[in-house]
Each structure stands twice: as structure tokens, then as C-alpha cells.
Amino acid sequence: MQLTELQIGLIALGVAGIGAVVGYNMWQEKRHRQTAERALGETHADVLIDPPDAPPRRLEPTLDFDLSDDAAPASDPSATQPLRRDVQEPVLADDPVTDITEPLTSFAADQTVAGWTDAAPATAAIDERAGAAVDGWADAQVEELITIEFEAPVAATEFQRTWNDLTQTLAVTMRLRGRDEHAGRWLPLTAQTAGALSKVELAVQLADRRGALSEASVSALAHALQGVADRFLAVVHFPDVRELLGRARELDSFAASVDVQIGLNLVAGESLISGTKLRGLAEAQGFTLSGGQFHARDDVGNTLYTLCSLDAEQFSADTMKALQTQGVTLLLDVPTVTDGARQFDRMVMVAEQFAHTLGARVVDDNRQPLSPASLALIRGKVAEFQGRMIQFGIKPGSESANRLFS
């Protein structure tokens, strides 16, 4: 059948239309690929496993290291199960200077990270970050600020669902907030937060009493952030990994040198200490029972020192009625209280009052009486440790101290 001019024209028009659709789709695909490449960055070597002679690399705004599964060394035990340090009470013998100069907790030992040359000094890094969050939200002393910027606003609930899925097994202590540009304010991110987020900030804690932020934890965090970037076409401003880990290890090393708890033991005399009498005495002195211990608190509820069982038995309202114990311990957590020397003096006074009423003796761990001279030397060491904290830039009893020594 011979085609008419109209039919030929319609066929030509259809072919041209199909070609236009195909061309438009190819252009759209190329545009989105370029957008994703800008958000995620080019493929480059893993800075955690680069050879020692490789220069540090920093490519912003991208995640600046490989997030492959083999990035975290299998030999790193902290990759799956961080170990919490055991906190012990000091031995307060006749020469307390020798006894309490050694820290009572052991932060994770300094380990060489594969591919490192010279770590950036952590103190300088802290100074540079002092203004990282102009509103003071991030704790520049003990946290690292990481920012996620979205190409288009993202629902807070959608981000939270994705983030929770990506971080189910992540062993990193951090706080999150999101910027809602329509509302013109930052929002703390919870499951109930509503709003459209233009960016999210993460305040990642560098160290606590479990040790420093590990290489494996940083790699796991980066995997999660890569997932966010993939899902939302986001740009993640990630810090230099060498500097981050160096700063965490330096902070951890310092914290280990001042992480001290001072204990005064009250040992029963001729008869055991009655739980009922102990509770009545403690409550008369203003102690409150919480978490298996009695807490002496300040006016805003912060713990000054605690009263616990000498044999590590947990106190409770029910068990106190039948309790008969060999002794108790008054414990001062030096880094987490303000004016530690004054709090130590108060604790000594309370210990003497308790001893008098309960017929007990104030002794050290060797069951030796503590002389006024020994107590004065201990008081001096408490002041010394807190002075070192202030010099480092962390005020004893502050939010920074409580985060670091948690």
C-alpha cells in the first residue's frame, strides 16, 4: 500500500518525538549523575590504610576515605565490643602521695594507626574548633562537629528513619540537631521531630571512660554518613581522619592522667553496721538513694560524692531493712565535681560523723587509720589534678568534664 504524504509526515514526526524523549532522558541521567558525583566525591584511596609515605588528603565537601567493608581492621576489638574501664578506689596508705599519683582508671592505650605519619597536635585542633558552632551547641573540647547539607529539604521524620536504620550497630556517642530554614531554628532530632531540614549537625564525642574514639568506629560512622549521602544526595563535611583520631587519642591520654576517685572507708567496730541506722544517718545528712548508692548532691542535683557498700553490694530501700555490713565507702569522683578540695573536706567531715555515730573507723584500703597529715596530702593531690584539668581547658564538674568522664 502506498503511503500518503500525511502518513509519511506523521511517521517522521513520531520518530522525531521518540528521539527527543530519548535525548531528554540521557540528559537527565547525565545531570543526576553529575549531581551525585558532586555530593559523594571521586573515588580515592582509604586514608586509614594508605602507606606511611602517602600525604594526607582532604577533599571537601566529600567523605574523604574509602568506606569499603575492609576499612576497619578485623583485629581491632573495639570494632564490635568496646570495653568499659573498671573504676577502682585508691589505696590511701600512710604515704598517699605515692598511692594516688597513679590514675585509677586506664583509658585505652595509644595505638599506632596504619598509614599515619605524624598526628596533628590535639591541643591545636581544639583551639581551631573553638568557634566551630557559633551558638556553643557543640562542645569544642570533647566533641567533633560533622555537618550534612541536603540538596533539597528533607523531612525530619524521613531522615530519622534512615539514620536509625544506618546506625543500629554504631558504637559512637553523639548528639544530633537539624536546621529547619522555614522555621528559622535548629531542632533537636528525635522520633517526634517534625520539619523540613536543610542540614544536620552531629556532635561526635571523642573519648569517654571506655577509651578514645577508635579507627573502626570512625569507619562505621563514615559508612552511615555515606548511606545518608546516597539516600538524600547530601554533601557531608567530614574532618580529616588523621587529625580526628589524633585529637581523640590525645584527649583520652590526658583524661587518663587525671581520672582519679578518692575513697574513704568506714569499717565496723565491735558490731556490724545496721542498714536501717545507716539509711537514717545518710538521709539526715541529705543523701538520696539512687542506682544502688546514696548520693550527696548540690543545689542543682549534681552528685558531690557517694556512699556505697564496701563489698560492692547494691543498696535498695527494701534490702536496707535487713542489711548488716562490715563497712561502707565514701567516694569522690575528682574530675566531675567543682572545687574538689573543698568537697573532699566535706566528705572527710561526713566520714568522721558517720564513724562516730556508727562506732566505725575511717581507714584506707589496708585498714590503716588515716592521719590528719595523710588527709592533707590527699587534699593537695585532689587540687593538683583539678588544676591540671583547668590548665588543659576542661573545668572540673563542667558539662565537658561530665561528657569526658562518663
Spell out the residues 6+ positions from residue 351 whose beta carbon is closer than 8 angstroms to its own: 264, 266, 330, 362
Average pLDDT, the chain: 78
Give yes or no: residues 274 and 242 share one domain. no
* pLDDT(52) > 90: no
Task: Select from 227, 258, 289 the last residue of a domain.
Answer: 258
Give 239-275 pLDDT, tens digit per residue.
Answer: 999 999 999 999 999 999 999 999 999 999 989 999 9
pLDDT of residue 311: 83
Task: Select from 258, 289, 319 the last residue of a domain.
Answer: 258
Give yes or no: residues 278 and 224 share one domain. no
How large a percentage of the chain has pLDDT more than 70? 68
Residue 184 lies in a domain: yes
- The one-character DSSP state at 73 is -
* pLDDT(210) > 50: yes
Give 269-321 pLDDT, tens digit per residue.
Answer: 989 999 999 999 999 999 999 999 999 999 999 999 999 998 878 999 999 99
Compute the distance between CA of residue 308 and CA of residue 298 in angstroms, rounded to an integer: 18
Q: Identify the band that residue 364 occupies on the pLDDT scale cut at 50, 70 and 90.
A: confident
Give yes or no: residues 224 and 173 share one domain. yes
Compute the Cα dihedral for 329, 334, 338, 343 and give only its sign.
positive
* pLDDT(99) > 60: no
Domain that holds residue 163: 32-66+122-258
Residue 228 lies in a domain: yes
Residue 112 lies in a domain: no
What value does the mean pLDDT take over residues 389-398? 97
What value does the mean pLDDT take over residues 105-131? 34
User: Contact 234/40 with Cβ under 8 angstroms?
Assistant: no
* pLDDT(41) > 90: no
pLDDT of residue 187: 94
Residue 114: other Cβ atoms inside 10 A: 13
* pLDDT(116) > 50: no
pLDDT of residue 33: 54
Give yes or no: residues 50 and 139 share one domain. yes
Compute the distance between CA of residue 336 and CA of residue 330 in angstroms, rounded to an integer: 15
Compute the distance between CA of residue 405 and CA of residue 292 in angstroms, rounded to an integer: 20
